[in-house]
Structure 1
Amino acid sequence: PRLWPPIYWFGTDNVGEPLLVDIVNGAPFVLEVSLLTALYTTVLGLLVGIVAGFSGGYVDAALSFISQVLMTIPSLLLVMIMATMIHTNNPLILSGILSITGWTGLALSVRSQILSMRELPYIEVSRVLGLSGGYILFKEITPKIMPYVWINFILNMEGAVYASVGLYFLGLLPFQNYNWGALISEALGYGAYYGGRALPILIVPVVFVTLYMVALIELAYGIDEVINPRLRK
């Protein structure tokens, strides 16, 4: 590969296009899917957990039962089947597929935290003072669980990246020549196991996926330190 301009420093793909250009073109899709999947999963899990924990009774029992049933379904197999059936590159639809069962763990965790918090003395005092249920929920209870929700949001972004790249690597979604997962699959198809010109096509996407994961982990640590008073210096 040519050494100048700098876009050729990472090598070229099988048709001679700079790998850096492929990575840059594929990055928006990865960012959209990871962000939307985390958003769907977190919002749905938070809503279900809040309604179940704060309502109690039959509503709590029904929502908890649905969450537990969905949690027992093999999520990877379900996502692979749905991705193959729908076969789309639309980030909105693909994110919905990836988050189809991912919200259940957050919902049950939020429910359990609300169940334990609503019996605390200061919540009882708020009820005695005549404060509304909405005020108690959104001003007294929800802010206490937001650190956990934010960390869960970042973890869902990480899982979405792995899932989306994996689906393209397996060929279960429409081919995109600049998609990071498609690049990895293409590299292995051209014999990257044995080195040669196909090796950079394998290494470069893997490095950028790793860098994105590291960035998300550092972001999670930063958010935890900002919103958790015990970690502030």
Structure 2
Amino acid sequence: MTALVTLAAPRDRLLGLPRSGKLVTGLAIVGFFAVLAVAGPLLAGDPEALVGGRLDPPSAGLWLGSTDTGQSVLAQLLTATRGSMLIGVVAGVLATAASLVVGVVGGYVGGWLDEAFSLLSNVTLVIPTLPLLILVADYVEDSGPFTYALIISVISWAGPSRVIRAQVMSLRSRDYVDAARVSGEPGWRIMVFQILPNLTPVIAAGFVWAVIGAVLTESGLSALGLGGGSVASWGGMLYFAQNGSALSMGAWWWFVPPGLFIAALGTGLSLINFSIDELMNPRLRKGAAA
């Protein structure tokens, strides 16, 4: 009975997020973009349809004006929100899953397997990210959202896996893990039910940063013209706005909204991550309360 209490205690302390203004604000911002990504394109209509003149300013009929070809900026913005959010979430899930496999298995098992995983992580970390992404994105013909997400996740899992590995190496020597091992539980069950729940804040923080990195990386690549010639993301909108001389023409309604959306989503995710940091570090919690 004592062993069961010991096993449950660390998990109860680590599960859950701190209730703070930063967390509520961050969740509200991210929730807004999630709703927009799901429902926005259904209400926006065809982003390629010609609905106005050349660079018409915002009006009652066109809330965000039109592009240089007469397309609705609002329709393109709502459609691009789904594309950018999809890339961020898919890349975040893939990168987090890879970092969990490498970090948890390697950190718990140790030995040659941990050394092999560590070597793989170190090699991935020293690869120049931007040139590799530009090369792969330019080489791959199918540059859809899932392709971008896969490419970005391949180079973004190594850093979080090192953090997870360090946490696992600390947790594997705890009393409740030793008790589970002595009781005859197999290694996979210990990793899944004893170690993994205690990594919840670390996993959540890694996922949040992976989403931020994926959205920013894709936006940067698309803004450089490596988005496959599509406006299905915020970066693609910025690319076509730049090509259409929106800045020199004073058409702020074309490039400001996608830039603001990128900044707002990054702010919301960062606020969530700060709240997770407060959960992991009690000193930050005390400082925020003071």
Which TM-score bucket, shorter chain as reference?
0.7 to 0.9
Which of 248, 265, 269 does residue 212 from structure 1 map onto? 265
Q: 1:218 to 1:26 in 2, by over 3 A?
A: same
Tell me the alpha carbon deviations over residues 171-211 of structure 1, each in whole angstroms, 9 at most, x when there is no partner: 11311145322221222233344452x32212121112112
Which of 232, 254, 262 does residue 201 from structure 1 map onto? 254
Tell me the alpha carbon deviations over residues 122-160 of structure 1, each in whole angstroms, 9 at most, x when there is no partner: 322332333332332222211111211111101111111
Aligned-pair CA distance for 1:220: 3.7
Which of 56, 63, 68 does residue 14 from structure 1 map onto? 68
Q: 1:140 to 1:178 in 2, by over 3 A?
A: closer
Normalising by the residue count of structure 1, what TM-score does the alignment of the two structures yield?
Answer: 0.88
Deviation >4 Å, runs of 4+? 225-231
Distance 1:123 1:229 in 2: 22
Amino acid in structure 2 at the alignment position of 1:3: S
Please tell me whether residue 4 in structure 1 is matched to residue 60 in structure 2: yes
Residues 88 and 173 in structure 1, CA contact (< 8 A), matched pair in contact too: no
Which residue of structure 2 aligns with residue 44 of structure 1? 98
Which residue of structure 2 aligns with residue 78 of structure 1? 132
The equivalences for 1:165-180 within 5 A come to 165-180=219-234
Distance 1:15 1:191 in 2: 12
Which residue of structure 2 aligns with residue 146 of structure 1? 200
Residues 238 and 258 in structure 2, CA contact (< 8 A), matched pair in contact too: yes
Residues 26 and 180 in structure 1, CA contact (< 8 A), matched pair in contact too: yes
**Structure 2 unaligned runs (5+)?**
1-56
Aligned-pair CA distance for 1:228: 6.4
- Greater CA deviation, 12-21 or 212-221? 212-221
Residues 58 and 64 in structure 2, CA contact (< 8 A), matched pair in contact too: no
Which residue of structure 2 aligns with residue 92 of structure 1? 146
Amino acid in structure 2 at the alignment position of 1:9: W
Please tell me whether residue 182 in structure 1 is matched to residue 232 in structure 2: no
Which residue of structure 2 aligns with residue 111 of structure 1? 165
- Greater CA deviation, 32-41 or 17-26? 17-26
Distance 1:206 1:50 in 2: 37
Count, aligned residues:
229
Tell me the alpha carbon deviations over residues 3-42 of structure 1, each in whole angstroms, 9 at most, x when there is no partner: 223xx22221111222111101111111111111001100
Normalising by the residue count of structure 2, what TM-score does the alignment of the two structures yield?
Answer: 0.72
Which residue of structure 2 aligns with residue 132 of structure 1? 186
**Structure 1 unaligned runs (5+)?**
none
Distance 1:14 1:128 in 2: 70
Distance 1:43 1:87 in 2: 26
Distance 1:179 1:116 in 2: 41
Aligned-pair CA distance for 1:76: 1.5
Aligned-pair CA distance for 1:110: 1.2
Q: 1:54 to 1:151 in 2, by over 3 A?
A: same
Amino acid in structure 2 at the alignment position of 1:209: I
